[in-house]
Amino acid sequence: MQALVTGGAGFIGSHLVERLLAEGHSVRVLDNLSTGHRRNLEPLLDRVALTVGDIRDAALVQQLSAGCDWVFHQAAVVSVPYSVEQPLETHAVNIAGTLNVLQAARAQGVRRVVFACSAAVYGDEAPLPQHEALTPAPASPYGLEKLTGEHYCRLFHRLYGLETVALRYFNVFGPRQDPRSPYSGVISIFVARALSGEAPTIYGDGEQTRDFVFVEDIVRANLLAATTPAAAGRSYNIGRGEATTLNQLVELLRGLVGAGPAPRYAAARSGDVRHSLATIDRARHELSYAPAVAVGEGLRRLVAYERARMPPDSRMPPD
Ligand code: UD2
């Protein structure tokens, strides 16, 4: 198959590109390198056509969609707090950009679009665990933008017959998630801090929960979403179905890396949801999705990956 991966130089996108190539597919990548990095694709660049550009560029997205069977739309501004600070910017990328990708896919006769949606659509209202039939109530511009993208996916399926599948990612972690920004995913930040012997900062009391899912499971879910005929027009939670508090996360990391300094606590972040936990029954039944990497195992792999990348003299001794 010929695939286009938007955001393919990013954290999740680059893992997806790697897997698609390993399965013998041809891959084009569109990425503006705002949070993605060319180095994420470095070993693959001789086999991947990387175009540096914006998902809002209609002519460019049309050109890259031509002849594609699948579009995996991973490009987005992914930070909840950034969307609270800059809602106009995140709206433009996450909503207008997604609409542009769908419009190009429709015009170019793409077979299926798989959209990276988010658990942030549920907000704080939903009872736990969250299932797809609940009425979403986003607590941040980001959640609202992802929900709008998903509605557009469903509409494009109904109105134009374009096959679309929305995957509501829970909290994804793994190698290549960049820790160097305050807007990065919490696990990437906490692992980087732990390895350099610095205290993590917990926003709030640390008893908020997230359903952390390893990036390899997300990649598997994308492939299943692309290849399962009955998934067209549907939305699926993709998590593990297990809640971990941030305090537990810190303890797990201390077990892997060594005690280090105690966490610091700061004010809770505006726009944050308190609890997030998936029911993954729909994905299990309809996509045969089954998460394979436990949180502890994923953390172990991530710590090993980060340790191997550290300059030798800065490595903390393992416990
Ligand atoms: C993540 C994704 C988002 C979406 C959502 C789905 C990222 C950057 N964001 O949003 O795209 O898919 O999951 O559920 O991957 N925290 C700290 N200390 C820190 C950083 C974060 O305490 O240094 C807290 C933060 O306040 C929040 C929790 O950790 O309570 C998770 O934060 P996050 O930014 O990793 O992820 P989230 O859930 O906002």
265 Cβ closer than 6 Å to some ligand 1 atom: no
169 Cβ closer than 6 Å to some ligand 1 atom: yes
What average pLDDT does this structure show over 151-157? 98
Residue 260 has pLDDT above 90, yes or no: no
* Helix, strand or coil, per DSSP, at residue 277: coil
- Of 47-56, 117-126, 237-246, the range with the lowest mean pLDDT is 117-126
**313 confidence band (pLDDT: 50, 70, 90):** low
The CA 186 to ligand 1 mean position distance, Å, reads: 5
The whole-angstrom separation of Cα 139 and Cα 212 is: 19
Write down the pLDDT at residue 126.
72
Q: Which residue has the higher pLDDT, 58 or 319?
A: 58
170 Cβ closer than 6 Å to some ligand 1 atom: yes
Rg (C-alpha) for the chain, rounded Å, is 19
Taking the CA of residue 172 as reference, the ligand 1 atom at the shortest distance is 15
Pocket test for ligand 1, best of 15, 35, 80 (most atoms within 8 A of CB): 80
DSSP 39-101: GGGGGGTTTEEEEE--TT-HHHHHHHHTT-SEEEE--S---HHHHHH-HHHHHIIIIIHHHHH
The whole-angstrom separation of Cα 212 and Cα 184 is: 14
215 Cβ closer than 6 Å to some ligand 1 atom: no
Mean of pLDDT over the chain: 95
The CA 36 to ligand 1 mean position distance, Å, reads: 18
Taking the CA of residue 273 as reference, the ligand 1 atom at the shortest distance is 30
Write down the pLDDT at residue 261.
87
Pocket test for ligand 1, best of 186, 244, 265 (most atoms within 8 A of CB): 186
186 Cβ closer than 6 Å to some ligand 1 atom: yes
Nearest CA to ligand 1 atom 1: 171
**315 confidence band (pLDDT: 50, 70, 90):** low
**259 confidence band (pLDDT: 50, 70, 90):** confident
Query: Which DSSP category does 317 fall into?
Result: P
Residues labelled catalytic: 142
Write down the pLDDT at residue 311.
76
Write down the pLDDT at residue 314.
60
The CA 198 to ligand 1 mean position distance, Å, reads: 19
User: Which helix or strand (DSSP H or E) is residue 163 part of?
Assistant: strand 163-169
202 Cβ closer than 6 Å to some ligand 1 atom: yes
- Which amino acid would we find at residue 268? A
DSSP 102-155: HHHHHHTT-SEEEEEEEGGGSTTTSPSSB-TTSPP--SSHHHHHHHHHHHHHHH
Which runs of E-coded beta strand occur in 224-298?
234-238, 244-245, 264-266
Write down the pLDDT at residue 218.
98
Write down the pLDDT at residue 319.
44
Burial of residue 240, with CB atoms counted within 10 A of its CB: 0-12 exposed, 13-18 middle, 19 or more buried: buried
Instruction: Give residue for tokens 């990497």.
Output: 293
Write down the pLDDT at residue 13.
98
The whole-angstrom separation of Cα 16 and Cα 28 is: 12
**40 confidence band (pLDDT: 50, 70, 90):** very high
Write down the pLDDT at residue 310.
79
The CA 108 to ligand 1 mean position distance, Å, reads: 35
Taking the whole predicted model, whether its pTM rises above 0.85 is answered as yes
